[in-house]
Amino acid sequence: MTLKISLLIFLCLLGCSQLHAQKNQEQRKSPNFGCTFEDGPFPANIIAIQSEKPLKSFPFSTVVDIQGCQVIHISFDKIDKEFVANFRPTDIDDSGNVLIRAERGLRYEIHLILP
């Protein structure tokens, strides 16, 4: 009888810990959890960095498109082609900063210009 009760308590504790882990995982996956940036175009200062030796960097100002608290597009008008690369949507931190790792070893340090 005590074995059955011990087993029942063990299974109950196991189930509770799995529910807690699942809840935490869902909160981390939510792209809009605590987001303060609206979808649409936003002005930004950007530093494009090539990781080749020697390192090359190119600072510029432009507009980025935001969707779901992620930078999804950078306007590369009048930017040298060597600093342009495709990238995946990337999360914005609470201060309006983004670090994007793009194709061809390029990185973009983005600082949104807050109103």
pLDDT at position 7 over 90:
no
pTM: 0.68
Q: How confident is the model at residue 79 (pLDDT cuts 50, 70, 90)?
A: confident
Domain boundaries, the chain: 1-30, 40-112
Angstrom distances, CA of residue 46 to CA of 20, 27, 98, 109 = 39, 29, 9, 6
